[in-house]
Amino acid sequence: MATRSVVVKVGTTSVTDATGGVDHSVLATLANDVVGLMREGWEVVVVTSGAITAGWAEVGAGRGRPHDAVTLQAVSAVGQPLLMSAWRDAFAREGVAVGQVLLAPLDFSNRGQYLHARSTLAALKSLGVVPIVNENDAVADAEIRFGDNDRIAALVANLVAASHLVLLTDTEGLFTADPRLDPNATLIEEVQAFDATLLALAGSSTSGVGSGGMASKLAAAHMATWSGVTTVIAPARALSPLSASLAETSGFGTTFRPRPERLSARKAWIAFAVASTGTVSINQGALQALEHHGRSLLRVGVTGHAGAFEDGDAVDVLGPRGEVVAKGLVRVGADSFDDGDDVVIHRDDLVLLRRL
């Protein structure tokens, strides 16, 4: 059996109170829950939101939350130490130390940094320290900032090869309809597989703070199911919400089953963590060779390319009708496309997206 390892993400509305300050009682409950699981042999990584909201409670003087990215990023620098200090206190009461790990999109897309982050998380684990992760909002490029920790949590789950991802939030889980609008909406306790209907169920966030909403939770769960990770969306303000999620307590949260044919960690990284810097268009014959025969993409099947991609970059592969059919790492840069290797994308570096 795989190691019992869980990444638990707690949303902004769950770690802060009505004033925007850190809600110490929620952190105390969670730290107790996490440490209880660690004593049972679980490895736990916490992903926390709330830096921006806590920071604005500190310096905003009661004014409305700002909207421009630069101010929000600056405010996160105020809130992040407040958040960490609260997590530190909560875990200290349980006799466990915490370590802060701030990650930006580039840490996921650059494979060297990605593997380095993995080593750091592994080293924290061997020290018995609970990693507390957030996006490095203060310095991450505003244009490419993830902006929601659901996605980061799913990427971290892939990074540490977690068996479970638990997204703790301010709703009970995924419902058949928006429960605020439809009194007949019921909790979906288990999702075996993603389909178009399920993705359409995702509403948009209306909470005002926190940037995730159900859509980004479903995207995170989708990503996780492809990495072999069981995902649970559950309410944070509950008795031992993490243990209850992992125990699949009846009536508590929504559990998403992983797919039987999981992507390798590397392919999941290509599919979900790396941003494409260009496109390569292919003909019908090449599409057949990729999708039905598991072949590499050869230059002979390429009908065009766009973007300033370099050797090793990720590109979207477009089928004959211009639809995205795959994503992969090119073995040739755009500048030298016609003189490079015959293999444009090796099959080991190629993910067929129409199967996702």
Our finding on whether 148 is near ligand GLU (CB under 6 A) is yes
Residue in 105, 210, 241, 301 binding ligand GLU, rule: CB under 6 A: 210
**Least Å from the CB of residue 131 to ligand GLU:** 15
**Least Å from the CB of residue 135 to ligand GLU:** 4
Our finding on whether 27 is near ligand GLU (CB under 6 A) is no
**Least Å from the CB of residue 144 to ligand GLU:** 14
Query: How is residue 192 written in tokens?
Result: 């075996």
Our finding on whether 107 is near ligand GLU (CB under 6 A) is no
Residue in 22, 46, 51, 351 binding ligand GLU, rule: CB under 6 A: 51
Cα 147 to Cα 131: distance, rounded to the nearest angstrom: 20
Nearer to ligand GLU, 214 or 289 (CB): 214
Residue in 5, 14, 16, 149 binding ligand GLU, rule: CB under 6 A: 149
β partners of residue 6: 44, 164
Residue in 14, 29, 49, 163 binding ligand GLU, rule: CB under 6 A: 49
SS (H, E, C) 92-136: HCCCCCEEEEEECHHHHHCHHHHHHHHHHHHHHHHCCCEEEEEEC
First-residue to last-residue Cα distance in the chain = 25
Q: Which stretch binds ligand GLU (CB under 6 A): 49-57, 182-190, 258-266, 269-277?
A: 49-57
Vertex 209, ends 204 and 211: CA angle to 5°?
A: 50
**Least Å from the CB of residue 211 to ligand GLU:** 4
Residue 235 neighbours by CB under 8 Å, 6+ apart: 168, 169, 170, 171, 172, 173, 241, 252, 253
Our finding on whether 105 is near ligand GLU (CB under 6 A) is no
Cα 293 to Cα 224: distance, rounded to the nearest angstrom: 26
Residue 217 neighbours by CB under 8 Å, 6+ apart: 150, 167, 169, 174, 202, 233
Our finding on whether 50 is near ligand GLU (CB under 6 A) is yes
Our finding on whether 137 is near ligand GLU (CB under 6 A) is yes
Residue in 212, 228, 258, 319 binding ligand GLU, rule: CB under 6 A: 212
Our finding on whether 76 is near ligand GLU (CB under 6 A) is yes
Q: Which own/partner pairs from 64-69 qualify as long-range (CB within 8 Å, at least 24 positions apart)? A: 65/208, 65/209, 69/142, 69/145
The size of the interface with ligand GLU (CB under 6 A), counted in residues, is 15
Cα 316 to Cα 301: distance, rounded to the nearest angstrom: 15
Under the rule (CB under 6 A), what is the footprint of ligand GLU?
12, 49-53, 76, 134-135, 137, 148-149, 210-212
